[in-house]
Structure 1
Amino acid sequence: MKLSVIILNYKTPYFLHLCLESVQRATANLESEIIVIDNNSQDESIELVKTYFPEVFLIENQENLGFSKANNLGVKQVNGEFICILNPDMVVPENCFETLLEFSNDKRDLGVVGVRLIDGTGTYLPESKRNIPNIEVAFQKLTGDTSKYYANQLAQDEVGEVPVLVGAFLFMRKAVFESIGSFDEDYFMYGEDIDLSYKLTQNGFKNYYYGQLTALHFKGESTIKNRKYQRRFYKAMQIFQKKHFSKGKFVDGIIVLALKLLAETKSNKKLKLENGDTEKNIFWVSEQSAMPEAFRIKNYKSLNVIAFKDLSQLQNTSGTVIFDLQDLKFSEVLQSIQLLKNSKNRFRIRPSNCNFSLGSDTSTSQGELLKW
């Protein structure tokens, strides 16, 4: 088998549904498998996978094992030569995996590959490619200077080597992943992608950023941005520094103190997960499919059906744009969100044959679910 896609889910049933539809389309022409690991979500996630995606191999954990341990468990179950570790709040284009397999096949020193990521507004996410956060870079990051933290030596749409890729999308050979000891399970959440990337380069592998492929990462969907998770993030940075850049107890102690202080003072982001504002202008974008009647009868300010070929007229509008995947490609939706990203519109995506749409207006909090 050529490819195994591993998706670790925790309390994101609707985003998982959208992610799985995109992965199914992207693997349609490949010898592949999809594995979903649920970290004891205790919501409708399990039932959703069983009902709508029965061909997916489902692992039901009885507790939240965290990112590293759960993904390591998943990799042990796969049959693919290549693996892709994927967040459940990701959307990939149809040509994603075929393109990366072609790029990777002849690279025997291949470490991990990442792609260009955008958020739900079409904004580029600079964490798509990063540098190693050694002590100097880490302290600059703490003070708000990210000039050395992000790998700005490579343009957004370029292809080339970078030190660190983001854990939301990690594509690599299974054998290479296992050869360096898989994910370090000292990390519960955050930091494991930095650690993995660093171990790969230390063992002679090359990590690549493939900026000619764009995927959507809603962000924040599997972690509520409260102080508990802020502490986990900075704890992960502390673990990484101590393991790979220790300067002795005194300096390490200063780093720990600084990280702890920042974790305690970091502002919390407000959670937003609701059923939508019924006063908005709605623009329903499709090729041919009609707007569902159940959605049409809801009390919106105005409803407009827009043909995909006429999408450019939305550059001067203000409202909620809903892309209908009943007859649109994921690649078309991603291109459209980027085309309209500087407009006053909000973007939502409706999976095929579903009575909901979802999206996000910020990369720092959970998104919006609209059901009808």
Structure 2
Amino acid sequence: MKLSVVILNYNVKHFLQLCLQSVEAAIQPIEAEIIVIDNNSSDDSRLMVDKNFQNVKWIQNHENVGFSKANNQAVKEAKAEYICILNPDTVIAEDTFTTLLAFAESKENLGIIGCQLIDGTGKYLPESKRNIPTLQVATKKILGFSKTYYANHLEKDQIGEVSVFVGAFMLLKRSVYNKVSGFDEQYFMYGEDIDLSYRVEKAGYTNYYYGKTTAIHFKGESTLKDQTYAKRFYGAMQIFYKTHFKRNIFFNSLVFGATHILPLLSKPKEHMVSHKVESYQLVSNKIYPKLQKTLNTNLELSDVFNEKSEQVEYILDANWLSFAQIIGIIKNSKKNKKSSFKILPKKTNFILGSDSSQNRGEVIHF
């Protein structure tokens, strides 16, 4: 078997359904398996998967054991030569895996491959490629100067060596994952992707960023960026430096302050609320009367994407468009700040999307 796709789920049923649809389309030409491990969700995720994705292997945890431990559990069940660690709030194109696996086969001493990630508005996510957070880099990051934290030696559409990737999308050989003992289970959430990337590189492998392949990462679905996030993130950084670098009184004090003081200063973000929309454009070959009724509007129907200057919500129908087309539309739109996007997954009665990587997205049933 060539590829095992490992997805950790926690209470994101609707986004998981869209993700699995895109993954199923992407593994069609490949001998592959999909493994979903669930950290004790309460939103009927398992019923949805059982009903719609009979070929998916489901692993159920009865408590939330965190990101590292759950992914390690799932990889132990994986059978393929390569694994892809993938977030449930992502959408990939039909050619994502064939492209990246062909690239992987061309490289010796391959470590981790990451790709270009955008949010639900098409905005590039700079954490797609990062540098090793050395003492100097991390200090600047904590103080609000993030330029050296990200791998800016490559443009977002380029291909090249990069040290650190985000856990939302990591493709690597299962043998490499096992050689470095997978994710460090000291990390509950955050920091484990930096740690794994660093340990893979230290083991003598080369990590690559492949910017010519793009995936959507809604991001806000994984966690809200609130006080808990700040405390966990900086706490993870404390583990990272304690594990890999010499003790430094100044930096320890800085991280302590970031861990204990910044969360108190952070204002918790509210959940996403519906934004003002002047009109809707449904990119599809058919109208959905129940959707029109729910939105209380007449949907403008177009079988191609026609970007406008006013405040339009574009509903992209995955029954009509390929996932590659959907990603391309969102990525290549003119970034009109007034416009927004929702995706209608195949054979469903809901649309979803996110206008911010900081908050949870929106799911509208019809």
Shorter-chain-normalised TM-score: which range? Answer: over 0.9
Instruction: Describe the superposition over 1:187-241 as per-residue Cα deviations: whole angstroms up to 9, x where unpaired.
Output: 0000000000100111110000000001000002021333223211111011111
Q: Which amino acid aligns with 2:283?
A: V
Could you tell which deviates more after superposition, 326-335 or 291-300?
Answer: 291-300
Pick closer, same or farther for the CA change 1:298–1:106 going to 2, 3 Å. closer
Q: Which amino acid aligns with 1:130?
A: R
Show the counterpart of 1:263.
263
Show the counterpart of 1:324.
317
**Equivalent position to 2:329, from 324, 336, 349:** 336
Structure 2 Cα separation of the partners of residues 298 and 209 of structure 1: 42
Show the counterpart of 1:49.
49
Show the counterpart of 1:357.
351
Structure 2 Cα separation of the partners of residues 263 and 152 of structure 1: 28
Instruction: Describe the superposition over 1:240-262 as per-residue Cα deviations: whole angstroms up to 9, x where unpaired.
Output: 111112235x3453133232222
Structure 1 Cα separation of the partners of residues 17 and 252 of structure 2: 44
Q: Which runs of 5+ in 2 are unaligned?
A: none
Show the counterpart of 2:125.
125
Q: Which amino acid aligns with 2:303?
A: A
Report the 3-state secondary structure (helix = DSSP H, G, I; strand = E; otherwise coil) of the residue aligned with 2:308: helix
Q: Which amino acid aligns with 1:281?
A: S
Once the two structures are superposed, the pairs formed by residues 248-287 of structure 1 within 5 Å of their partners are 248=248, 250-251=249-250, 253-260=252-259, 261-272=261-272, 280-286=278-284
Instruction: Describe the superposition over 1:77-126 as per-residue Cα deviations: whole angstroms up to 9, x where unpaired.
Output: 01110000000000001100000110001323011000001000001011
Instruction: Describe the superposition over 1:132-182 as per-residue Cα deviations: whole angstroms up to 9, x where unpaired.
Output: 111111110111111100000111111000110111000000000000111
Show the counterpart of 1:223.
223
Report the 3-state secondary structure (helix = DSSP H, G, I; strand = E; otherwise coil) of the residue aligned with 1:165: coil
Q: Which amino acid aligns with 1:298?
A: T
The alpha-carbon deviation at position 341 of structure 1 amounts to 4.5
Q: Which amino acid aligns with 2:108?
A: R
User: Are the counterparts in 2 of residues 238 and 259 from structure 1 also a CA contact under 8 Å?
Assistant: no
Show the counterpart of 1:307.
303
User: Are the counterparts in 1 of residues 83 and 174 from structure 2 also a CA contact under 8 Å?
Assistant: yes
Structure 2 Cα separation of the partners of residues 266 and 228 of structure 1: 10
Show the counterpart of 1:294.
290
Structure 1 Cα separation of the partners of residues 231 and 256 of structure 2: 12
Report the 3-state secondary structure (helix = DSSP H, G, I; strand = E; otherwise coil) of the residue aligned with 1:294: helix
Once the two structures are superposed, the pairs formed by residues 173-252 of structure 1 within 5 Å of their partners are 173-248=173-248, 250-251=249-250
The alpha-carbon deviation at position 278 of structure 1 amounts to 9.1
Report the 3-state secondary structure (helix = DSSP H, G, I; strand = E; otherwise coil) of the residue aligned with 1:241: helix
Show the counterpart of 1:369.
363
Structure 2 Cα separation of the partners of residues 277 and 364 of structure 1: 15
Report the 3-state secondary structure (helix = DSSP H, G, I; strand = E; otherwise coil) of the residue aligned with 2:19: helix
Structure 2 Cα separation of the partners of residues 221 and 299 of structure 1: 23
User: Are the counterparts in 2 of residues 242 and 252 from structure 1 also a CA contact under 8 Å?
Assistant: no
Q: Which amino acid aligns with 1:346?
A: S
Structure 2 Cα separation of the partners of residues 165 and 279 of structure 1: 35
Structure 1 Cα separation of the partners of residues 254 and 323 of structure 2: 43
Report the 3-state secondary structure (helix = DSSP H, G, I; strand = E; otherwise coil) of the residue aligned with 1:296: helix
Structure 2 Cα separation of the partners of residues 41 and 206 of structure 1: 36
Q: Which amino acid aligns with 1:236?
A: A
For normalisation by structure 1, the TM-score amounts to 0.94
